[in-house]
Amino acid sequence: MSGPPTGPGDPATHWHDGTRCVHAGLPEPEPGQPFLPGPVFAAPYHLDPWQGPAATPNGYGRPDNPTRRLLEAAIGELEGGDCRVFASGQAAITGLLLAVLRPGDTVLLPADGYFPVRAFATATLAGMGVRVGFVPTAGPYPSFDDVRLVLLETPANPGLDVADIAAVADAAHAAGALVAVDNTTATPLGQRPLDLGADLVVASGTKALTGHSDLLLGYVAARSAELLETVTGWRTTTGAVPGAFDAWLAHRSLATLDLRLARQSANAAALVELLAGRPDVTGLRWPGRPEDPAYPVASRQLRRMPGVLSFDLGDADRVARFVAGSRLVAAATSFGGLHTSADRRAQWGDDTAPGFVRLSCGVEDTADLVADVTAALDDAGAAGPLS
């Protein structure tokens, strides 16, 4: 019932996404026990009086928790590597950067990716002597000579450009650099960066991975025992771990990931078709649209398209009228949840136009969502005059 595939002869190596999600990380079945054990709440555990912590995997709650380990096994199976979970996506990505980089190192970050990562790099990494460079997700990329780490976020948040992971990894490795990929938007069902040559995967599990808008979570995954040991040591020292209940909620939510993503992607495709035909909507981006500049790479690299799209309504007031007039689109940040939401990114400090909207498709019925968005856009009217 559980466990990672053991080899080509194991039927689990041929399981499809839905089956993998439902069974990922579950313990072997035992009569009288639940499919997914409940959360273990503990700070200290009983220790063996003679051997101490060497006698059991559980010694103290910060480094050791069985609920957390089951979740790590589940995410690791989906990503194709070993996993360590963190208290949030930001804790995971800053922990990765601080664990891997040293004064004098050079790191290249996406110029159009999640802006708190850029802010952290400018304020903290540069302050400790790390040389920080910013590169657009779609390139062009500079020489990777003397670079320690290249971080990609693909599809990028919020602009949804796509990087060719395999091509960047080949070039970076030839120069001796490591490659990490932020897989938040795609999820491990959309792409497995480790299969494409990345050394590390980092992601916010707060979003589509767990998808119920009720917890914060992040993770780092790798196939290199040395890299994972470095990240694990950092997490243990800093204590950036999720609580047992959040870990249990996340594992419970993983089971429906395939189903949720299928509806979200279908809703995105339908809304893109609607928005593409409206003259009052500009700057439409979705990597699954053949006319999108990211499509040539995305169609090769992504196994499924995300439920996130972006567009411009001209000004902040029209965005507010659109969301206020909708019955199904909530005004909220984050993305990947069950409920469709719209986020005007400029209000958070992103370098985007005032009317730029990142729209995250939920799992509502497609016909209802299309009708609602149509009516809300009609009622919102045209954008006001530029100031």
Lateral strand order in the sheet of 82-86: 82-86, 218-222, 200-204, 178-182, 149-153, 106-110, 131-135
- Judge contact between 218 and 206, C-beta under 8 A: yes
Q: How far is CA 112 from CA 153, 160, 386, in A?
A: 9, 9, 25
pLDDT of residue 385: 53
Structure tokens at 200: 């590390």
Nearest CA to 59 out of 71, 75, 70, 48 is that of: 48
Inter-residue contact 302 to 190 (CB < 8 Å) = yes
Using alpha carbons, select from 148, 120, 154, 113 the residue that is nearest to residue 134.
Answer: 113
For residue 288, the 8-state DSSP code is T
**In the structure encoding, which two tokens stand for residue 138, read together?**
């779609």
CA atoms within 13 A on the CB side of 311: 25
Contact assessment for residue 310 and residue 159, using Cβ atoms and an 8 Å cutoff? yes
Residues 294/155, Cβ–Cβ less than 8 Å? yes
Give 310's strand partners.
Answer: 285, 358
- Determine the angle formed by the axes of helices 366-380 and 316-325, rounding to 10 degrees: 130
Cα 185–chain centre separation: 5
Q: Residue 233 is inside which H or E element, if any?
A: helix 225-238
Of 133, 146, 137, 135, give the one whose Cα is nearest residue 172: 146
| SS3 state of residue 296 | helix
| Residue-by-residue pLDDT tens, the chain, 387 positions | 444 444 555 666 789 999 999 999 999 999 999 999 999 999 999 999 999 888 999 999 999 999 999 999 999 999 999 999 999 999 999 999 999 999 999 999 999 999 999 999 999 999 999 999 999 999 999 999 999 999 999 999 999 999 999 999 999 999 999 999 999 999 999 999 999 999 999 999 999 999 999 999 999 999 999 999 999 999 999 999 999 999 999 999 999 999 999 999 999 999 999 999 999 999 999 999 999 999 999 999 999 999 999 999 999 999 999 999 999 999 999 999 999 999 999 898 888 999 999 999 999 999 999 999 999 999 998 776 544
Supply the pTM of this predicted model.
0.94
Q: Could you give the CA distance from residue 104 to residue 121 in angstroms, rounded to a whole number?
A: 14
